[in-house]
Structure 1
Amino acid sequence: MSHSTRLIRQTLTIARRDFQATVFTPTFLLFLFAPFLFMGLSGLIGGLGAASIAERGTRNLRIVAVASPADRNVLIAADRNLRALFSEREAPPTLELRAATGDPEAIARNNFKRDDVQVVAVLYGPLEHATVLHAPIGTRSSRYLAGLAEQALRIRSGGAAPLATVRQVEMREGATVPIGRDEGGFAAVFALFFLTLLLAGQVVSSMAEERSNKVIEVLAAAVPLEAVFLGKLIGMFGVALLFVTFWGVVAVNVASLLPGEIGAAVSGMTPAIGAPTFALLFLAYFTMAYMLLGAVFLGVGAQASTPREIQMLSLPITIFQVAMFGLASAAAAQPDGIAATVAAIFPFSSPFAMAGRAASEPGLWPHLLAIGWQLCWVALTVTLGARAFRRGVLQSAGPRWRMPFTRAR
C-alpha cells in the first residue's frame, strides 16, 4: 500500500470516527433543532440588513406603458397628475414609455425579462381597450396603470371621455419575471452566514474537548497528524452537510404551505442565474466557506489547551464571521460598487459575496473564476492550518522560525 493511499484511508477513518461521534448522540438532536431557538435573533439581524436591500429594490422597480407616439404626451401628463396624489413612500414605481413597434404583447412580455430593472406591470394596446400584464407582486401597480389609461383618455378628450376598459392579466407562465433578485441576493448571503456561523465553529469545541482528555495525543501516536487534521475537518463537514440537507428539505416543504401572497412573493425571488445552477453554486460556496473557516478555526483551536482559552477565542472568531457577513451584505446592496469587488476578491468573504451575486446577476464565468480562486486559498489555508495544528498539539514541528542572521538558542 502506497503512502498516499494509506494517508487517505487514515484520513477517512478519522473523518468517520468524528462523524459518528457527533451524529449518533442524543445531544445532536438538540443541535439539529437549535435553529428554532435561533430564529428570533436571526430574523432581527436579517430584517435590519434586508431593510437596505428592500429600499434599493424599490428604486429598481418599474412600470411600463407600450404606447404609440400619439399617446406618449397624454400618458406623461396623466402620470404626473396621478402621482401627485401619492406620498413619496406610497407612490407607484417609476413609469417608462416604450414605443409600440411590432407586436405590443411581445414587447410587453419581453420587458419582464430585463436585467437592468425589475418590471412589475406593463400596459399595452389602445387606451380604450388596453391590457395590463403584471407580476404576482404587481397587483397594485396594475390598478395604477388601469387608472392611468382612463386619466390619459380624459386628458386627450378634454375631460369628457368614457371610462376605459382595461383587462388586467397576472403573469404566471410564458416568461421569466426577475422579481426580488436584490432580496434574493441578500437572502443567499444571510443563509450562508447563518450556516457557517452555526456550523464552522463546532470544530473549535471539538478540538478543545479532545485536547483536554488527551485523545489527540493517542490519535497522533497512531496516524500522522495531518491525517487527524484533515479527517476532523472532513468529518465535521459531513455533519454540516447533514444539517443543511435536513433544513433544506424542511424549508422546501414549508415554502409550499405558505399563503398565496407570501408564497407568490417567495416564488418571485427567482435566482438570476437559474434555480438549479444556483443550488449547485450555493453548495459549492458553502463548501468553500466551511473549509476556509473550518481550517482556520481548527488551526487556531489547536493552540488553546483549556476551556477558558477556547471561550476567549470564541469572541474574535464570531467578530470575524460577522465582519465577513457585513462586507458581503454591502456587496449585495451595491453589486457594482467597490465593496462588491473587495468582497469577491478577499478569500474569506468571497463565498458569501459570490453566493449573493449568483442570486442577483446572471453569468456563469465569474463564478468559475471565483471557485478556482477560492480553491487555491482552501489549499493554502488547510496547509497552514495543518502546520499550526501540529505545532499546537505536539508543541513541536521541527525548528521554529527565526529571523535571518540570528543564532539559534
Structure 2
Amino acid sequence: MKEIFRAAFVIARRDFTAIIYSKAFIFFLLGPLFPVLVGFAAGNLGGQIAKEVSQPVVGIALAKADSDKMLAARQSLSKTLGDRYFADMKILGDAGAEQKSPQEYLQRKVDNLSVVVTGSLAKPVVTGTANAIKRERADIELLAGYAQSGGSLQLPKVTPDIVVETANSDKQLRTITAQGGQILVFFLTMLLAGMVLSNLVEEKSNKIIEILAASIPMESVFLGKLFAMLAMALLGIAVWTSIGMIGFMAIGPNLPNYPTPAVGWPIFIGLCFTYFIMAYLMLGALFLGIGAMAATVREVQTISMPVTMAQLINFFFASYALTKTGEPIEKFAAIFPFSSPFAMIGRAALEPTLWHHAIAIIGQMLFAVLLLRLGVYLFKKNVMKSGSAGRVSEEGGRKLFGFIKVRG
C-alpha cells in the first residue's frame, strides 16, 4: 500500500507540474472570467431593454372629468402605496368627443398599451387580453372607487409590530443560501471534472499510459491523475476566489446579503469546500472509468454525455429535495452518492446538526474509492487485457522515474 501511494504521488506531481507550467493553464484560469463578464453585461442590458420596452401602460378613454379624477386618484394613492404599485396611465381622449373603439387604441404600437378603460367610473369597462385584464383589474377597480368617492375612501393604517424572524421566514431565507451553495459547487464540479477525462484519453492516444502501466500498478496511475487534477482545480479556485474578493471589495455596500446558514458561515464554507472535493473525486473517478472504456475522443464525447446529463438531473433532484426537509425523498437525496454533496449542502444551511455530515463525507469517500477501483478494472480489462495488478518493483520504479526525468 505504501508503494502504491508513493507511485501515485510521483504521478500526481508529474501531471500537476506539467499542467501549471504550460501556456494552456493561463487560458484555463482566464476562461471562466469571460462568460461571467459577458453574462453580467448581457443581463444588465437585457434587463434595461425589458424595463424600457415592455413597461405596460393603461389607456384611459373616459369622459374628461372622469379621466382627470382617475389620474388624480392614482397620484394620491401612489403616495401611500408606492408609485410602482400602479401601471403607468395615459389619457387617450374624451369619450364624449372621440369615437375610436378600444380595439383601435390597442392596435397603436406607439403607446405600448396593455388595456384600455372605457365606460364610466361607476361602471368601467376594461378591454385587453385575458392576462392583461387579470393583472390590471384590481388596480383599476381600486382607482375607480377612490376617484368616484372623491378621495373620501380611507385606507386603514397598519401598525407595525416587528419581530426579528419567524420559523417560516427563517427557512425561506436560508433556502436562498443553500441554493447558492449548491449552484456554486455544481458549477465548479462540472467545469473542472472533465479535465480528468481529457488527460487520460490524451495519454492513451500517445501510448504514455502504456509505459506507466508497465512500470507501476494502475491504481497508482489513476489515483495520481485524479489528485493532480484536484490540486490543479483547487489552485484555479484559489485564483478565481482572489479575483472575486477584489471585485466584491470594489463593489462595497452593494454586496448581496445572504442569510446566515444554520451551522454558521465558517462551518458552511468549510462544508461546501469539502463537498466540492467529494463531488469532484466521485465524478472524476467516474470519468476515469469512462476514459478506460473509450479509445478515441469521439467515444469519450458519446459516453460522457449521458453521465453529464445524469449529473445535471442529480443536481435538480437535490435542489427539489431541499424543499422536502426530513421527508423520505430528501433522505434518499442525502444518501444517494451523486446527489449527496448537494443535498448535504442544503442541510448545512437549514439544520445545525453536524454529525450526519461526517457520515455523509465518509460514505462519499468510500464510493469514490469504489469508482476508482472500477475504473482500474475496466482499464485492465479493455486496454491491458488483464485482470491482475502488478506491484511496484525496483526495476519498474527506475523505469518510471527515468521516464519522468526524460519528460521533464
Task: State whether residues 7 and 220 of structure 2, in contact with CA within 8 Å, keep that contact through their aligned partners in structure 1.
Answer: yes
Displacement of 1:29 in angstroms is 1.1
Residues 66-121 of structure 1 show CA distances to partners (whole Å, capped at 9, x for unaligned) of xxxxxxxxxxxxxxxx99x97999xxxxx9998xxxxxxxxx6xx43655423xxx
Aligned position for 2:148? none
Q: Distance in 1 between matches of 2:332 and 2:297?
A: 35
Q: In 2, Cα distance between the equivalents of 1:388 and 1:36?
A: 37
Show CA shifts across 1:269-311 (max 9, x none).
3222111111211111011101111111101111111122112
Aligned partner of 1:229 among 204, 207, 222: 222
Aligned to 1:149: none
Higher alpha-carbon deviation: 238-247 or 375-384: 375-384
**CA separation of 1:41 and 1:327: change in aligned 2, threshold 3 A:** farther
In 2, Cα distance between equivalents of 1:7 and 1:398: 15
Judging changes above 3 Å, is the alpha-carbon distance between structure 1 residues 33 and 331 closer, same or farther for their aligned structure 2 residues?
Answer: farther
CA contact (8 A) 2:290 2:304 kept: no
User: Residue in 2 aligned with 1:7?
Assistant: 4
> CA, structure 1 residues 350+283, in 2 after alignment: closer, same or farther (shift >3 Å)?
same
Q: CA deviation at 1:225?
A: 1.3
**Residue in 1 aligned with 2:212?**
219
1:201 is the counterpart of 2:194: yes
- 2:314 corresponds to which letter in structure 1? M
Task: Measure, in 1, the Cα distance between the counterparts of 2:159 and 2:21.
Answer: 59
Instruction: For 1:102-121, list aligned pairs within 5 A.
Output: 111-112=163-164, 115-118=167-170
Which structure: larger Rg?
A: 2
User: Which of 310, 321, 339 does residue 311 from structure 2 map onto?
Assistant: 321
For 1:41 and 1:367, the matched residues in 2 are separated by 37
How big is the shift at 1:325? 1.5
Give me the CA root mean square deviation.
Answer: 3.3
The DSSP-based 3-state class of the residue aligned with 1:305 is coil
Output the CA distance in 2 between the equivalents of 1:371 and 1:322: 21
**Partner Cα distance (1:8, 1:356) in 2:** 34
Further displaced range: 385-394 or 317-326: 385-394
Structure 1 CA distance for aligned equivalents of residues 263 and 165 of structure 2: 13
Q: Which runs of 5+ in 2 are unaligned?
A: 44-79, 87-134, 137-157, 390-408
- For the pair 1:396 / 2:381, whether they are aligned, the reply is no
Question: 1:334-379: CA deviations, max 9, x gaps?
Answer: 4355442222111111001111322333221232222222223223
Q: Which amino acid aligns with 1:306?
A: T
What amino acid does structure 2 have at the position aligned with 1:217? E
What amino acid is the match of 1:6?
A: E
Aligned partner of 1:27 among 24, 29, 45: 24
Q: State how far apart, in whole Å, the 1-side matches of 2:30 and 2:324 are.
A: 34
Q: Within 2, Cα distance between the matches of 1:9 and 1:198?
A: 29
Q: Is the 8 A contact 1:327 1:339 kept in 2?
A: no
Q: How does 1:134-145 map to 2 (within 5 A)?
A: none
Distance of 1:38 and 1:391 partners within structure 2: 40
Task: Give ranges in structure 1 of 5+ residues lacking alignment.
Answer: 47-81, 90-94, 99-107, 119-177, 400-409
Amino acid at match of 2:182: V
* Counterpart check, 1:356 vs 2:346: yes
Corresponding residue to 2:290 among 265, 276, 300: 300
Query: Could you list the per-position Cα deviations for residues 35-72 of structure 1 after superposition, in whole angstroms to 9, with x for gaps in the alignment?
Result: 1233379889x9xxxxxxxxxxxxxxxxxxxxxxxxxx
Matched, 1:255 2:307: no
The match for 2:272 is 282
Task: Report the identity percentage.
Answer: 39
Cross-structure match for 1:210: 203
Task: Return the TM-score normalized by structure 1.
Answer: 0.62
Superposed displacement of residue 333, structure 1 = 4.1
3-state secondary structure, aligned to 1:267: coil
Q: 2:95 aligns to what?
A: none
1:39 to 36, 41, 44: 36
Answer yes or no: is the 8 Å Cα contact 1:186–1:333 preserved in 2.
no
Q: Name the aligned partner's letter for residue 112 of structure 1.
A: V
Question: Would the alpha carbon gap of residues 357 and 241 (structure 1) be closer, same or farther in structure 2, given more than 3 Å must change?
Answer: same
What is the match of residue 320 of structure 2?
A: 330
Pairwise CA distance, 1:226: 1.1
Letter of the 2:290 counterpart? V
Q: Quote the Cα distance in structure 2 between the aligned partners of 1:96 and 1:361.
A: 33
1:157-172 equivalences in 2 (<5 Å): none
Give the partner amino acid of 1:194. Answer: F
Distance in 2 separating the partners of 1:309 and 1:41: 32
> CA 1:293/1:187 → structure 2, altered by over 3 Å: closer, same or farther?
same
Matches within 5 A, 1:20-169: 20-39=17-36, 111-112=163-164, 115-118=167-170
Instruction: State which drifts further: 225-234 or 368-377.
Output: 368-377
Matched, 1:382 2:372: yes
How far, CA to CA, are the matches of 1:7 and 1:384 in structure 2?
Answer: 17
The answer to whether the 8 Å contact 2:292/2:375 transfers is no
- Answer yes or no: is the 8 Å Cα contact 2:290–2:300 preserved in 1: no
Distance 1:42 1:298, change over 3 A: farther
| 1:32 aligned partner, one-letter code | L
